[in-house]
Amino acid sequence: MRPPIAWRSPGDKKAPHGVARWQVEAGLTWQLLLSCRRCRRHRRLFSSHSPLLPIPTSFQVPPSLSSIPFSPAKNHQQSERASRASASYSMTMTGGHRRLMGASSASAPAGEDAGKSGSSKDAMRIMVSVLVVVIFCTLLYCVYCWRWRKRNAVRRAQIERLRPMSSSDLPLMDLASIHAATDSFSKANKLGEGGFGPVYRGVLPGGAEIAVKRLSARSRQGAAEFRNEVELIAKLQHRNLVRLLGWCAERDEKLLVYEFLPNGSLDAFLFNAGKSAQLGWTTRHNIIVGIARGLLYLHEDSLLKVVHRDLKASNVLLDNKMSPKISDFGMAKIFEDESNEVNTGRVVGTYGYMAPEFALEGVYSVKSDVFSFGVLLLEILSGQRNGALYLEDHQQSLIQDAWKLWSEGQAAEFMDPALGRAYAAEEAWRCYHVGLLCVQEDADARPTMSNVLLALISDHMNLPEPSRPPMFTRLRRVLLAAPPLTTKTESTTSPVSVNDVSITVIEPR
């Protein structure tokens, strides 16, 4: 913004400081002077002695005070001090035969006021914008803090609700660590699909391999079953039980971290034509004895009396030496007193492995596990899955086939063709005999697991004759919560387990 130049008539002796005044002497000499109030000095701007302009012969005195803006190049401070005054001007100078100078200008003050007003509005807009951004960021931060605190509160509540009372030595693992170990539960690390959710392989930073059981959102296993499994496995330690390394209950995730068993589950070998040949007789016999030892520990040798209630081929895992380890204790129950059986209104388990008293009446005991063990033993001998014919009327199940061939003296026909004749006949017949004793209809007639193990490893124990097993003629699947699940086909290579709930109708003899 430039300071103004004011023009005064020649008779005006007192021009205001800070403006230029017009002086004419004797009509012949003229000059334009600049007066400065601050420094008390005058500066000649134009004069008649300048060779650029001729001496005017006439002039027209401005009728009133007018001004023009100017900006001295040599003194910037003077220009800024004089910039406070402004006006419009109009000047005409004539001399001789021609017009010497003329100028006109629009009102400078109006333009400057508009500029000042626009600058004020821009500054106001900037201030408002900055204020809005600051308020928005503050609100966003407050919302983040609130959600973070709420999430942590929920997590703490879940942990406290799911924390086993006696598993203080069992590590509580971080969800981020499990995500990193399993590559965010990638499909490449998926080992199989269980009834309660998928199982993934993972590698910890130290290189140790783990198996992570991830509770599915659609699973029927809730918080109670999850806590039950954690609490049980934390208390139970046996070489034929899978070892729990840690657990996690964070956000909506419920995870169990087990030791990694490279050979997967038993059903992946037993019911797969391409892998069943890898199970020779010695391996099968060791698996049978190992499962019996694990059940005996649960029923009699541990501090707790535990009924597994879901023993089946897919819940038996094999380590690198093909030694069996019982897994999946989600539906296991503890007998806290001296009672030997419990009546429950909720029937859970897998069809084909459930004892008749449990399927029909909801009564379970350690003898229910004995029945499941007998079914599993017969499956290991024959290489066939029990229950495959349950949905078809007028067809026999694996148990019926076993009883029929036993009663006809054709036990060799029951053995898995993948074995050929490469098995110890005496051990095989004894296992066959024990299996039929375990699947008897009367629970009291079934042997205990201590007697079962003794019969399997002893050649001199006399075994009673088995009675006819229950005749399963019809199966009706009962869906309590989840939609129907499909079972694994025999060609499936990955271990798959499905927990179906069923009721079996028994035909009387």
Domains of the chain by range and CATH? Answer: 4-105 (no CATH), 263-507 (1.10.510.10)
- CA 413, 418, 420, 422 torsion: positive or negative? negative
Distance CA 379, CA 369 (A): 15
Q: Is the confidence at residue 246, as pLDDT, over 60?
A: yes
pLDDT at residue 470 in the model: 79
pLDDT of residue 239: 94
Active site residue 174: no
CA distance 451 to 454: 5
Q: For 198-202, 302-306, 387-391, which range has the lowest pLDDT when averaged over its residues?
A: 387-391
Question: What gap in Å lies between CA 71 and CA 81, rounded to an integer?
Answer: 11
| Active-site residue identified among 310, 369, 416, 500 | 310
**DSSP notation for 11-75:** T---PPTTSEEEEEETTTEEEEEEEETTTTEEEEEEETT-TTSPPPSEE---SS-EEEE---SS-
Q: If you average pLDDT over residues 17-30, what whole number do you get? A: 46
Closest CA relative to residue 316, chosen from 286, 282, 348: 286
pTM score, whole prediction: 0.61
Count of Cβ atoms closer than 10 Å to residue 405 Cβ: 17
Q: How confident is the model at residue 496 (pLDDT cuts 50, 70, 90)?
A: very low
User: Which residues make beta-bridge pairs with 307?
Assistant: 333
Report the range of poorest mean pLDDT among 73-82, 289-298, 455-464.
73-82
Mean pLDDT of the chain: 73
125-164 pLDDT per residue, tens? 888 899 999 999 999 999 988 888 876 676 566 555 555 4
DSSP of 360-409: HH-EEEHHHHHHHHHHHHHHHHH---TTTTTTSTT---HHHHHHHHHHTT
pLDDT at site 361: 81
